[in-house]
């Protein structure tokens, strides 16, 4: 076929470095940018096949999120804006690692296995972050698409969630929204302004938010979004990309891990601040108290704020819909206790990784999920959407029920249900705080996090550790879970678990207890048990 001749010819312009092996993981491919040209070309090929197979637009995002500036990466976006299915993750790994002379054979195998009709039209939507390497790597993707005669639509500089949104819009015939960044800004800003009209007494000081853009694409896009928000939110941008390196001593990951403000952020006592990560799909909030002490409000606090707000509105609207919060084992025990025992919100725990959380959230009427790192969103079932929208139009509904249903409808429109979205999540948090007339300190005081500690233990082979119960209990090696259980019993409000890293031979240890001294001791003792029983090096 002429298409395969073109693939052979063009792939020579995107050669694979000798011996380089990469794995398509939760975040797609990530590596040093100079290693990725061949991967990008091949993901252009794969996205075109996926588009032909699904008869839908497929997204390809060139980004390495919170990684250092010299890295880059790529991930594919499936028709409903979700991550690509596991089988196609496997194909991505096979294609990326195929030697030059075997590339067409691997390609043909995928076509045969998936019964792809090569005469079917294909549409691939691409976007990229602000890394210096992203533009050239994006061109390599487009090369791959053109080889298999796919139609490409390059949106250039966009946040990762914006590309997810655009893919979803294109594949729902505009029912979800207009498939452009302009459409994204218009939909979100309209919903945000509708919500904040319910908090008419806000002062300019209460509307003011300090934002760390991680010197990335999020800062660029917030400048564009600001024009649509009018004066309903006054965002002061720091680390806006005009100077400073992407993710260097700034951004959501830095703030979460280091537990301190980003460099370059000028925050006064009590001022509400937040940070995006490099591709604007994560967000964390924070502030300094009057004593200069730093307070972080991570994904657990965000999920708690949003889920309790939604539950209250559903009660006011008289709608019998279940709100559930999906957590991982890393969620702070205080958040789980507060949700389950105080607010009576359903909590379910799943394995670490956004795809697991997203899938679990789809099982409920309204599923709220946020990883502790600040990546998350809210998913509404078709049933929930229909009931909410019907109630807004019901002439027999009381004023209170109608008001609550309209708030719920605007909230749905503000949320990017395709994926975690820092801009959308930020606007939602700001709207909820405004409607509830809450300060960031009052939000923080809803519950107090238990002290926690995370450690890593190097082992000869991470595969000796197998886990169950959403990674909260170790099945192997023999005796390890018994040792952990015995150690946990020695401390108040304690829990601990271990899980193998997905990428390197280390075991991650997580512990909680009533004091920092106790949790540090517990984490250390569990690490020694791992070292002793799991082949520490």
Catalytic residues: 65
Cα(53)–Cα(406) distance, integer angstroms: 39
List all residues 6 or more positions away from 201 whose beta carbon is below 8 Å from its beta carbon. Answer: 437
**How far is Cα 214 from Cα 248, in angstroms, rounded to an integer?**
7
> What is the rounded distance in angstroms from the CA atom of residue 184 to the CA atom of residue 79?
17
| H or E element that contains 337 | helix 333-337
Cα gap 76→89, rounded to integer Å: 9
Report how far residue 311's alpha carbon sits from residue 314's, in angstroms, rounded to the nearest whole number: 5
Whole-angstrom Cα distance, residue 433 to residue 438?
5
* Dist. CA 396–CA 403, nearest whole Å: 13
Contact 275/255 with Cβ under 8 angstroms? yes
How would DSSP label each residue in 106-170?
HHHHHHHHTT--TTS--EEEEEE-S-TTHHHHHHHHHHHHHHTT-EEEEEEE--HHHHHHHHHHH
Residue with tokens 């993707």: 141
Nearest to 330 by CA among 526, 529, 512, 481: 512
295 SS3 class = strand
Where does residue 358 rank: exposed (0-12), middle (13-18), buried (19+ CB within 10 A)? buried
């Amino acid at each position: 076929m002429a298409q395969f001749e073109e693939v052979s010819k063009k792939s020579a312009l995107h050669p694979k470095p000798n011996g380089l092996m990469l794995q398509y993981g939760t975040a797609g491919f990530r590596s040093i940018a100079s290693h990725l040209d061949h991967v990008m070309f091949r993901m252009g090929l794969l996205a075109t096949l996926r588009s032909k197979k699904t008869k839908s637009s497929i997204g390809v995002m060139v980004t390495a999120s919170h990684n250092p500036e010299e890295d880059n990466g790529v991930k594919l976006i499936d028709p409903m804006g979700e991550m690509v299915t596991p089988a196609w993750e496997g194909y991505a790994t096979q294609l990326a690692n195929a030697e030059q002379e075997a590339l067409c054979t691997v390609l043909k195998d995928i076509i045969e296995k998936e019964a792809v009709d090569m005469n079917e039209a294909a549409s691939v939507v691409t976007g990229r972050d602000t890394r210096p390497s992203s533009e050239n790597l994006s061109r390599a993707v487009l090369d791959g698409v053109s080889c298999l005669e796919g139609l490409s639509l390059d949106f250039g500089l966009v946040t990762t969630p914006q590309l997810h949104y655009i893919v979803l819009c294109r594949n729902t015939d505009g029912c979800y929204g207009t498939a452009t960044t302009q459409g994204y800004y218009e939909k979100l800003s309209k919903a945000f302004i509708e919500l904040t009209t319910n908090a008419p007494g806000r002062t300019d000081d209460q509307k003011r938010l300090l934002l760390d853009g991680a010197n990335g694409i999020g800062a660029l896009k917030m400048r564009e979004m600001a024009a649509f928000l009018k004066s309903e939110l006054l965002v002061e941008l720091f680390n806006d990309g005009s100077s400073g390196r992407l993710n260097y001593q700034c951004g959501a990951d830095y703030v979460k891990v280091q537990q301190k403000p980003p460099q370059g952020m000028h925050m006064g006592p009590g001022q509400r601040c937040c940070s995006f990560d490099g591709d604007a799909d994560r967000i964390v909030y924070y502030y300094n108290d009057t004593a200069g002490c730093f307070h972080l409000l991570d994904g657990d606090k965000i999920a708690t704020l949003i889920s309790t707000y939604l539950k209250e509105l559903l009660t006011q609207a008289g709608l019998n819909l279940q709100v559930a919060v999906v957590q991982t084992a890393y969620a702070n025990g205080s958040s789980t206790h507060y949700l389950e025992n105080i607010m009576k919100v359903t909590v379910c725990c799943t394995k670490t990784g956004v795809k697991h959380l997203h899938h679990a959230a789809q099982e409920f009427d309204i599923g709220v999920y946020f990883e502790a790192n600040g990546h998350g969103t809210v998913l509404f079932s078709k049933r929930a959407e229909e009931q909410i929208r019907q109630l807004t139009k019901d002439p027999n509904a009381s004023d209170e029920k109608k008001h609550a249903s309209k708030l719920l409808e605007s909230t749905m429109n503000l949320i990017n249900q395709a994926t975690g979205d820092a801009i959308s999540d930020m606007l939602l948090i700001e709207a909820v705080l405004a409607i509830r007339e809450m300060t960031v300190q009052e939000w923080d005081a809803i519950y107090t996090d238990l002290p926690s500690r995370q450690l890593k233990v190097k082992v000869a082979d991470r595969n000796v550790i197998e886990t169950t119960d959403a990674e909260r209990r170790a099945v192997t090696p023999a005796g390890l879970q018994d040792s952990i259980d015995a150690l946990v019993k020695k401390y108040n409000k304690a829990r601990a678990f271990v899980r193998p890293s997905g990428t390197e031979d280390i075991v991650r240890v997580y512990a909680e207890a009533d004091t920092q001294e106790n949790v540090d001791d517990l984490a250390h003792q569990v690490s020694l048990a791992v070292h002793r029983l799991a082949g520490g090096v």
